[in-house]
Structure formats: C-alpha cells, structure tokens
Amino acid sequence: MSVKAVIFDMDGTLTEPMLDFDQIREDMGVSKDAGPILELLEKMSEEDRIIAEKVLCEHENKAAVNSELNNQVLHTLEIIRNASIKMGILTRNTRNNVITVLKKHDLSFDGVFAREDGPAKPDAFGVNSLCEKFGAKPSQTIVVGDFDHDIVSAKEAGAVAVLFKTHKNAEFFAEKADFVIDSFNQVLTIIDNINNQGVS
C-alpha cells in the first residue's frame, strides 16, 4: 500500500491549541462536562441555540485570527506536497475560519471539509468525502488529529488514524489510534513506513 492522501484536523493539529471548550461551554451557560459542543447545539431550543452559536463563533473567530502553526507544520506540508500526496483539512470549525487560517499562514490544501459541508466528525462522512475527491481509498489515506473525534472518524472510514498529542486528555483515546506522535513531522516517518512495508 502507498499513501495517496493525508487529511489533517485544523485546531490543535495544524494550529496550536487555542480553543478552550470548557470555557466555551461555560460562556454558553452549560456545564463543562455537558458534552461535545456541536451536538449540544442540536439539542437546544432555537432561542438558546442562536445565543450559544454566537458564543461559539466569537471564540472560533478569535482563535482563527490569532492562530499560530504548530512546530514543523510548514516543513512537513512542503515535503508531503512535493511527494504528490493529496492533502485535505477536515474540521468541525467553519469554512470561513479555515480560510482565515489558510490566508494568514499562506497554506494551500487540495480539499476542505468544514462543518457546513455535512455530518461532522466523529462521523466518517467527511473522511469518505475527501477520499472520493482525491481519488484515494480510505486505506490509502492517513488522518491526523488531536482528539477522539479524529481517530473515530478515521477508523470508521477505514483510514489510518494518527493521534497528534497536543490535547490535554490525549492519553484517554491514544489506544484507539494506529499511530501516536509527539512531533508533527513524525507524520513523514509514518508515510515512509507505510509506503515501504504497510501498516503493521
């Protein structure tokens, strides 16, 4: 097997962790342990959801504008691009915020799947959609992310799941991943290993 595509999460993976989801929930007026935010919004009344969505957007917009790339991102992406491997972004964030981050850091990707585009992670829909766009099978695709949603969506699609340990609770879902990395450029080693011998 050879790697045909790499799909990256954005917040906490390409960029340094900026979103404090506990604070976002608190600002929404719900408990810190109330669960994933997008799923919370679906359960709210229309009036509460409008208010909560405004809170979420304020936090997300600020994080995008002030975003900083994680170490080794530019170098790693350049090598992947030069290897003619397709690259995508799969995020629960908005497309406008993806555009903000891409413009700020002069990044280019072959495809973006944001929350307006269909069912959000941990659903495998986004992984499958990007694979289809790239003409790559999920088994030929690596998904890199910092959270449980990234790993679950990858595994459900049949892609290779790579956990980038930037999340404070990474140890709780590390066992679900095919690979766990501490440095972004370790993605390159995984690509090389798969291309040379397949996933062990």
Domain ranges of the chain: 5-16+67-197, 21-65
For residues 60 and 19, the model is more confident at: 60
When mean pLDDT is compared over 33-37, 49-53, 108-112, the highest value belongs to: 108-112
State both tokens at 22: 């506990």
Q: What's the average model confidence in pLDDT over 94-104? A: 96
Query: How many degrees, rounded to 5, is the angle at CA 146 between CA 155 and CA 174?
Result: 60
pLDDT at 198: 52
| Cβ-based burial of 121 (10 A; exposed 0-12, middle 13-18, buried ≥19) | buried
Q: What is the pLDDT of residue 71?
A: 96
d(C-alpha 151, C-alpha 129), whole Å: 16
Question: Average pLDDT, stretch 52-68?
Answer: 90
Instruction: Determine the topology of domain 5-16+67-197 in CATH.
Output: Rossmann fold (3.40.50)
Q: Is the distance from CB of 98 to CB of 9 less than 8 angstroms?
A: no
Give 183-196 pLDDT, tens digit per residue: 999 999 999 999 99
What's the pLDDT tens digit per position in 69-89? 999 999 999 999 999 999 999
Q: How confident is the model at residue 200 (pLDDT cuts 50, 70, 90)?
A: very low
pLDDT at 103: 97
pTM value?
0.90
